[in-house]
Amino acid sequence: MPNSISKVLIGVGGGIAAYKVCELVSSLFKTGVEVRVILTNSAQAFITPLTLATLSRHQAYTDDMFWQPTHSRPLHIELGEWADLLVIAPLTANTLAKLTYGMADNLLTNTVLASTCPVLLAPAMNTDMWEQLAVQRNWQQLLTDSRYHGMSTASGLLACDRVGAGRMAEPPEILTYIQSLLHTGGKRDLAGKRVLISAGGTREYLDPVRFIGNPSTGKMGLALAQAALHRGANVTLVHGPASWNVPLGVQAIPVVNAEEMQQVMGEYFTSADIIVMSAAVADVKPRDYSTEKLPKRSLPQSLPLESVPDIVSQLAKLKQPHQQLIGFAAQSGDIITPALEKLQHKKLDAIVANPIDKTDSGFGSDNNQAVFLDKQGRHREIPPCSKLQMAHHLFDFVSNGKN
């Protein structure tokens, strides 16, 4: 992420989802981002300028200020030049149509045309409105402009009591996309690429309630999927048991044990361009499985074990020259030596060595730190940062290391 303070301009359209923008503005401010807000006239029927001014710690802008300028320079020019990123949430069918055809009849649309920064769009509308041929045509046409980054709509119960597509993405998901765009500047260096990611821990069951596992939550793999998606990739995420929500736009395939993960990864491997094995796959499993819960008195005093498939080694044998296979090595103590051994022995293109014995890092944490190593001998140390930042640093590293 940039060292300087990032500046995000949020345009609020006229829809019931406008109330969600309060959480987004508050969250952005808490992360140290400078936030400014423009409300359309319709948006003010759902939320007040005072509310957003209070949350952003700055005056909110309305059309009244645009048509009665008090600045030395036109307001839309100043705001367009100020912003590092422009977010429109909720994006209504009306504003979508205006943007598609380059119309500028209010402060928000004039500011969009007076800016050159990336624009993140979070549409929200009734299902029938969203699915109209004209709306979908406008949406697809607008996204052909590289400035615009579109978030998928979610399905569910809408304010009109209709159940279907058209729900605006939730504020945490919009916040994550904003953080990605502030890191990349809007570049889509993974556009057209298929990225296959494994995430989380596997569980090897002794009976229906007991298993051999590990503390992995899959948060690193989730961050990798988000980062790849935001950089334009087609993303497939194969994950063990997890408590988080799958990002809109990511194909997610849940699995439980190593054998299931091996099967799914094998199915999708051939068509993938970049494969990231961030999952914490079990090394062994109980030799015997009971279909019924074993009474405590029947538990074996010593547990016979057998090996599970070494997924990354098997994938490495199938790897084609155009593919990049990246592994993870979670270690305590010396993290470099075992990571280098794994990189070479398993014929990986790159590996992430990350410590599990550091504060606020590794399993279960929202943050991480690591050393990246690749087969060309490159070495890059990543200090403590969020797992989303770590994911972007990894894709930067991999992209820069391609021959």
pLDDT at 154: 85
User: CA angle 232-367-278, nearest 5°?
Assistant: 55
Which residues does the chain have with pLDDT short of 70?
A: 1-3, 67-71, 401-403
pLDDT, tens only, 23-80 = 999 999 999 999 999 999 999 999 999 999 999 999 999 998 876 656 678 999 999 9
Please give the torsion angle defined by the CA atoms of residues 333, 335, 337 and 339, in that order, rounded to the nearest 10 degrees: 150
Give the count of alpha carbons within 13 A of 123, CB side only: 30
Kindly compute the dihedral angle of the four CA atoms of residues 192, 194, 200, 206, in this order, to the nearest 10 degrees.
Answer: 160
Residue type, 317: K
Query: Looking at domain 7-184, what is its CATH homologous superfamily?
Result: Flavin prenyltransferase-like (3.40.50.1950)
The pLDDT assigned to 313 comes to: 93
User: What are the catalytic residues?
Assistant: 160
93-100 and 133-142 are packed helices; what angle lies between their axes, rounded to 10 degrees?
50
* Cα–Cα distance measured from residue 73 to residue 387, given in angstroms and rounded to the nearest whole number: 41
Whole-angstrom Cα distance, residue 211 to residue 205? Answer: 4
pLDDT at position 156 is: 83
- Give CA–CA dist 355/339, Å, rounded: 11
Give pLDDT, residue 70.
61
Residue 328 marked ligand-binding = yes
Q: Do domains 7-184 and 194-400 have the same CATH topology?
A: yes
Does 145 count as an annotated binding residue?
no
Please indicate if the annotation marks 46 as binding a ligand. Answer: no
pLDDT of residue 294: 93
Residue 375 known to bind ligand: no
Name the β-bridge partners of 11: 38, 88
Query: Residue ranges of the domains in the chain?
Result: 7-184, 194-400
Q: Would you say 309 is a known binding-site residue?
A: yes
Residue holding tokens 């930067």? 396
Identify the CATH assignment for 194-400 out of 3.10.520.10, 3.40.50.10300, 3.40.50.300, 1.10.580.10.
Answer: 3.40.50.10300
Contact 153, 181 (CB under 8 A): no
| Residue 310 among known ligand-binding residues | yes
User: SS3 for the chain, per residue?
Assistant: CCCCCCEEEEEECCCHHHHHHHHHHHHHHHCCCEEEEEECCCHHHCCCHHHHHHHHCCCCECHHHHHCCCCCCCHHHHHHHHCCEEEEEEECHHHHHHHHCCCCCCHHHHHHHCCCCCEEEEECCCHHHHCCHHHHHHHHHHCCCCCEEECCCEEEECCCCCEEEEECCCHHHHHHHHHHHHHHCCCCCCCCCEEEEEECECCEEEECCEEECCCCCCHHHHHHHHHHHHCCCEEEEEECCCCCCCCCCCEEEECCCHHHHHHHHHHHHCCCCEEEECCECCCEEECCCCCCCCCHHHCCCCCCEEECCCHHHHHHHHCCCCCEEEEEEEECCCCHHHHHHHHHHCCCCEEEEEECCCCCCCCCCCEEEEEEEECCCCEEEEEEEEHHHHHHHHHHHHHHCCC
The verdict on whether residue 296 carries a ligand-binding annotation is no
For residue 380, the cross-strand partners are 372
